[in-house]
Each structure stands twice: as structure tokens, then as C-alpha cells.
Chains A and B, each alone.
With several copies, the nearest count.
Chain A
Amino acid sequence: MITVEKMVVEAQIEIAKNIFKLVLFGDLVSKVTTPGQFVNVKITDSTDPILPRPISIAHVDQDKQQLVLIYRIEGKGTELLSRKQKGDVLTIIGPLGNGFPIYDMKRGQKALLVGGGIGTPPLLELSKQLVMRGIEVIHVLGFQTKEGVILQNELQHFGKTYLATEDGSVGMKGFVTDVIEQYQITFDRLYTCGPTPMLKALEANFPEKEIFMSLEERMACGIGACYACVRHTCNQDDDLGYRKICSDGPVFRTGEVVL
């Protein structure tokens, strides 16, 4: 059930250059069902900026009624968000979308989680929940440089974690696909979130594998009403011919929508 709630900021920490971890408290947490869902964050009560910002839920703690967002400063909205402090209140619309399917994986199976840059956060909750269900997880994370690396330690906790950076400043020099190849990583299913070129490369490299990827698009409503965030389906005979990233996704199986 989607709700609109004034959630309270419990903490805000800069975990890497311009990347922040925001801990929010409120009832809305109890409505979160799957890793990979997101929320729409209304950053001010004013009209500047007017639209809410979609941010993935990185972590949920039902006992403490907390959820964690991890975001990078991109423009005005995220910059303003980064100035919020403990005790401040934010209007949150959510939880939104359908997350990563996990219930059909079987104990003992192996999941590869591939994160690219600021696409990594939703994999944290996913990894936790997979491990809780007895799934083996391996992480491959790609960043541009050392400075952008996030969540390595946290994910390490749940499973083996490889790193790649484009400039080689830490981990392997190259892309996530290079890491997977180099270490000949095998898996039953691949979950991923990150920039489109990365998603395309993964899709191309593992045409026979089951891959679930979380997508992004400019949004307005976040709930499926405005048709801002549609993608064509790959299947031309599909009854609808499109999917909305916000409400049908943001997670899709490869082959469902055109990247």
C-alpha cells in the first residue's frame, strides 16, 4: 500500500564524496515488501523544487522502523536533501514499484549481484534478504574511481565482493563484466542495477541467464498515473506494448522492455 508520510530524519552521513546515507523513521517502513522498491522524496514543502525525487530503498529495519536511502548529489534536489539534519521531516511517497523477485530462488542457489556506481544501494537489502533465505550471494561492484566506492564493507558481510574501477584506482581495472570473466564467476541468477551501458553489456554477455535489472527514467508521479516513465516491450505483440518503470518496474527481467 502506497502511503504519504512525513518521515523523520534520524541520521545523515556522507559515506563517500557527494554520496550520502540518509536514515528515515516512520510507519511507512512497515509497508515495504521487496528489496528494489523505491520512494519518492519531496524535499521541501515549497515549489522549489516541485517534483519529488525517486530514490531506491537501500536498507530496511522493521524493528527500528527505519529505512535507509543512499544517494549521490546530482542537482538541486539531492543537494538540498543532503542538507537535511537529524530531526528534520521529509514527505515521503512510497513504497513504490515492484522490487527484485526473490521468493522463487531456492536455498543453496547462487545469486550474482552486480552494482554500477550509484546503482549499488538497492542491492544491499536484496543481498541481506537473499542470504536470510539461504541463497549464496556474490557481489561485483563497478565504480569510476576509488572515491566513488560505496557499500563494499556492508556487502562483504553477506558474500564475496569483487571490485572494479574504470581507472584501476582500486580493485580490478575495467568493468564489472571483466571481473565476472576474469574470475569465471558462475551463478543461477543475476540481479543488477546501474547505468544502462552496464545493463546492456550484462544482457549481451549472459543471453541464457535469468537476469533482473532495475531501471531508471525521469518520473513525475512515481505511481503509474502520468505515463512519464514508459519503455517499449521487447515483445512487439505484447498486449500493451509498454511498461511503466515506476509501477510495473523498476525491476524487469531481461527481454521484457527495451533498454
Chain B
Amino acid sequence: MSRLNVSLPGLQLKNPIMPASGCFGFGREFAELYDLSTLGAIMIKATTVEPRFGNPTPRVAETSAGMLNAIGLQNPGLEKVIGEELLWLSQFDVPIIANIAGMTVDDYIHVAQEISTVSNVKALELNISCPNVKQGGITFGTVPEVAKEVTEQVKAVSDVPVYVKLSPNVADIKEMAKAVEEGGADGITLINTLTGMRIDVKTGKPILANITGGLSGPAVKPVAIRMVYEVSQTVNIPIIGMGGIQSAEDVLEFFYAGASAVAVGTANFVDPFICPKIINDLEKLLDKYQIHHITDIIGRSWA
């Protein structure tokens, strides 16, 4: 009997470990390394109505215990994602969480409506927080009313449960979480990246062509843990936590903070086998700490 399975709205997960959006493409590269069916779920790269090339390069820069990225939501567009990527992914026994993005509310509605009807898409992840999209995108993620509104409208058209991905670049994450819960969100995922920047000391110029980028990796984990801790005690919908996870110990930290599942982003670049490795280690760690089932420890850090 599994000690790792987790049930969330729309999602029956074998285990609570999934690659985070944008850090796993559409899975093709990793499928050559291991069986994708071992994963709890897969969060695919943000999908927009039209194909996007994204930002000019350099798109990544290294930081202390983290990295900045300014990919700019590059993706082949809704039609190809459905017709090629999701179809290809359907050979694996793994639920897909479709990360969707857009420049306008209509964009979100459009993508949500179509992608949510694809059979292996079990949930949507509304990316209202991508810091790299210039035209308006950012405000979705920092103004509660707007976030609520997008959530409502997407909820209205989606065939599957909707998770909203929150931006950490706010003064009060609880307020944002409440807003999307009121908007009808079935779950919350957090955190997206913190906006950051690096300058090349040799040239005096920004390293990223886009100037700023999103900070991810172990550096941001304390911020992520704090936000999961705050939000999980504020709303009644489950949280998929992420930000700097590198090990099974980190997974426990997120569960203690109040997450019901977790996503692994940057660590996939450091070790492409990290997800199966964590799944494997997690079982052993439950023994070590005498935890009967992973869900037993959700929120154990609360007062």
C-alpha cells in the first residue's frame, strides 16, 4: 500500500512529486532518461494562444544558490501543445497539469476552454504571476481583485479543476490567496519566481538580455516555505508548494509548512534524475521519521 499517494481536486497522484512548469518542457527530454509514469504529475510549460519565441538571449544567469531566468514563456502555442505535446504525453500513465498564460483575460479563457478538454489534462495551473511577461501579465499576479476576476472567468469555462499559481512579489500573499479562493480556485500553487537581476562585473551591464528575470532555486526556499505556511492556514483549498526543492528533506519541509504536494523546478537542471530520486528517497525518509503516510504531516508546523 502506497504511503505517498495524494488526492487533490482532479488529481489522483501516485506520489506528491511533480516537475514544475517551465523546468521540464513537455517531458520529451526527460522521457529519454526515465519513465515519466513514475512521476506524481507533470506541470507542462506555460501555454499561450499563439506560439511565442520568448525573450532574446542570454535568458539565464546564475546567482548564489539560485538562478535567474527570463525565458519569456516560449512555447509552440495552444494548437501544437494539444495536437502534438499532450497527445505524445498521453502514452504515459501520469496526470498533466496544464500551465496556462496570456496577455489578456480573453487569452486565458481561450486557452483554458480548449486545453481543459484534453483527456490527460486533469487540472489547469493559471500562471498569473510570470514576472517576465511585460504586457500587463504582472499585475494579474499582484492585484487581488484582478486575480479573482481571472480565476472566476477561467473557472467558468474549464472542464477540470483550476489551480492558481501565485507570485511571491507581493506584500501580502494571504490576501492574494483569499482572492483566488473567492474566485473559485480549486487549489493554489506557489511560489513562482521572485523578480531579480544580475550585472556582469566585467561589462557593467545586465547579464540577462531582458534585464530582470525570475529567481528560483534553494535561495528562495525560505520565502516559499513562509508563504506556504501563511497561505495554508488562510484558505481551505490545497496547496502545491515549490521553490528550491532539491531533496526529500525539502519535500518534508513543504509538507510540514502546509503543502499537500510539491513541484520541483530548478533542481531538474542540476540533476535531470532528481524527481525519481526524490520519490525514491521520500519513502525511506518516512521510515526514518516514522511517518505513516505523507499526508499525515501536512501542516504539522502550525502552532
Known: A49-B62, A51-B62. A224 touches B29 (CB 8 A): yes
Interface string of B120-154 (1 = CB under 8 A from A): 00000000000000000000000000000000000
B23 within 8 A of A: yes
B25/A227 in contact, CB under 8 A? yes
| Distance between B132 CB and nearest chain A CB, rounded to angstroms | 12
| Distance between B56 CB and nearest chain A CB, rounded to angstroms | 9
B207 — nearest CB in chain A belongs to which residue? A218
| Distance between B18 CB and nearest chain A CB, rounded to angstroms | 14
B270/A230 in contact, CB under 8 A? no
A230/B57 in contact, CB under 8 A? yes
Interface string of A204-242 (1 = CB under 8 A from B): 000000000000011111111111111110000000111
- Chain A residue numbers with a CB within 8 Å of B2 are none
A132 within 8 A of B: no
| Distance between B76 CB and nearest chain A CB, rounded to angstroms | 8
B219 — nearest CB in chain A belongs to which residue? A47
B53/A217 in contact, CB under 8 A? no
| Distance between B37 CB and nearest chain A CB, rounded to angstroms | 18
Interface string of A33-48 (1 = CB under 8 A from B): 0000000001000011
B57/A231 in contact, CB under 8 A? yes
A225: contacting residue among B54, B65, B268, CB under 8 A: B268
A226/B64 in contact, CB under 8 A? no
A225/B57 in contact, CB under 8 A? no
| Range of interface residues on B (Cβ < 8 Å) | 35 or more
- Chain B residue numbers with a CB within 8 Å of A247 are 29
- Chain A residue numbers with a CB within 8 Å of B60 are 51, 218-220, 226, 228
A218/B61 in contact, CB under 8 A? yes
B270/A227 in contact, CB under 8 A? no
- Chain A residue numbers with a CB within 8 Å of B51 are 241
A19–B71 alpha-carbon span in the complex (Å): 32
A51/B59 in contact, CB under 8 A? no
A50–B45 alpha-carbon span in the complex (Å): 22
B171 within 8 A of A: no
B29/A227 in contact, CB under 8 A? no
B256 within 8 A of A: no
- Chain B residue numbers with a CB within 8 Å of A230 are 53-54, 57, 59, 74
B53/A226 in contact, CB under 8 A? no
B22/A226 in contact, CB under 8 A? yes
A232/B53 in contact, CB under 8 A? yes
| Distance between B286 CB and nearest chain A CB, rounded to angstroms | 20
B58 within 8 A of A: yes
A217–B61 alpha-carbon span in the complex (Å): 11
Interface residues of B in 71-119 (CB under 8 A from A): 71, 74, 76
Interface residues of A in 1-59 (CB under 8 A from B): 1-2, 4, 42, 47-52
- Chain A residue numbers with a CB within 8 Å of B25 are 224-227
Given contacts A47-B217, A223-B30, 9 further A-B contacts (CB under 8 A): A4-B272, A50-B66, A50-B270, A93-B271, A226-B23, A228-B60, A231-B57, A232-B53, A240-B76
Per CB-CB distance, the 4 closest pairs between chain A and chain B, nearest first, are A47-B65, A218-B58, A225-B25, A228-B60
Question: Could you write out 29 A-B pairs with CB less than 8 Å apart?
Answer: A2-B32, A47-B65, A47-B217, A47-B246, A50-B66, A51-B62, A51-B67, A52-B270, A91-B271, A218-B59, A218-B60, A218-B61, A218-B207, A220-B60, A221-B272, A225-B23, A225-B24, A225-B268, A226-B22, A226-B23, A227-B22, A227-B54, A228-B69, A229-B57, A230-B53, A230-B54, A230-B59, A230-B74, A242-B74
